[in-house]
């Protein structure tokens, strides 16, 4: 009995074959948390670059991962989990957190939206900060939050001064992540909507962050 189209079945076969390798499964486990540059994956896995490249090509070929260039340093790229790649096969609850802290450069859009969206899906407290905060929240962030019925308090952006013990830190822009390399933060490489500053750009950022938060929330428990 055929339960699904042949192309869908073959896609599942390719994904299972890719995940059968322990190194590739570990890479995917890491990508369920956030985006990693190849250099960061090498450090996490203790793996030479040629072998890592082989595994990344296999994951991309199976539709499990994608790669794009950093907005901060065009020589750098980030690997991310492809949308819908695991279809419910992501690892379960693994990480404890007293608070989740979202960080971007200006704390005017992405990190503010992330903290507001987090409050809708988790009892773990959330906050946000910027490495070089702006004077005010971007109007586009306010508008997109209002459009989706998300409570986005219009509080001034604040500077990242320190990370408290128990904070689970997520950087949501490439500049902040590459500036805070010693922080050990999970990274979401979300394009800056202010670069284009259109309604669509803010919608795309909102959708990207919302998708990632819905994937991360079930994996964290209150510490």
- Do 109 and 141 contact (CB within 8 A), yes or no? yes
Terminus-to-terminus CA distance in the chain, angstroms? Answer: 47
The CATH architecture assigned to 95-222 reads 3-Layer(aba) Sandwich (3.40)
- Does the pLDDT at position 7 exceed 70? yes
Quote the pTM value: 0.82
Asked if residue 210 lies in contact with residue 56, where contact means CB atoms within 8 angstroms, the answer is: no
Check residue 2 and give its pLDDT: 44
CB neighbourhood size of 175 (10 A): 18
Q: What is the CATH number of domain 6-81?
A: 1.10.10.10
| 74 has pLDDT over 50 | yes
Which residue is associated with the tokens 């959708």?
207
Task: Specify the range with the lowest mean pLDDT, choosing from 23-32, 55-64, 81-90, 108-117.
Answer: 81-90
Q: Which of 79-83, 143-147, 190-194 has the lowest mean pLDDT?
A: 79-83
Q: Do residues 168 and 103 make contact, with C-beta atoms less than 8 angstroms apart?
A: no
For 11-120, where are the E strands, in sequence order?
65-69, 77-81, 95-97, 99-104
Domain boundaries, the chain: 6-81, 95-222
pLDDT of residue 88: 54
pLDDT of res. 223: 83
């Amino acid at each position: 009995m055929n339960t699904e189209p042949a192309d869908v079945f073959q896609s599942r076969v390719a994904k299972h074959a890719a995940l059968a390798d322990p190194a590739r499964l570990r890479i995917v486990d890491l990508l369920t948390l956030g985006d990693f540059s190849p250099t960061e994956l090498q450090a996490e896995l203790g793996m030479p670059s040629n072998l890592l490249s082989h595994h990344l090509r296999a994951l991309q070929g199976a539709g499990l991962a994608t790669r794009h260039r950093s907005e901060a340093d065009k020589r750098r790229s980030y690997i991310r989990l492809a949308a819908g790649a695991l279809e419910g096969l992501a690892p379960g609850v693994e990480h404890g957190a007293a608070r989740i802290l979202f960080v971007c450069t200006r704390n005017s859009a992405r990190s503010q939206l992330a903290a507001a969206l987090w409050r809708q899906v988790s009892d773990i407290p959330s906050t946000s900060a910027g490495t070089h905060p702006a004077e005010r929240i971007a109007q586009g962030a306010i508008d997109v939050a209002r459009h989706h019925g998300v409570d986005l308090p219009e509080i001034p952006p604040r500077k990242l001064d320190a990370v408290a013990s128990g904070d689970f830190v997520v950087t949501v822009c490439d500049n902040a992540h590459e500036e805070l390399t010693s922080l050990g933060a999970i990274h979401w490489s979300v394009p800056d909507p202010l670069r284009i500053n259109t309604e669509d750009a803010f919608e795309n950022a909102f959708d990207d962050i919302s998708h990632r938060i819905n994937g991360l929330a079930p994996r964290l428990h209150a510490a």
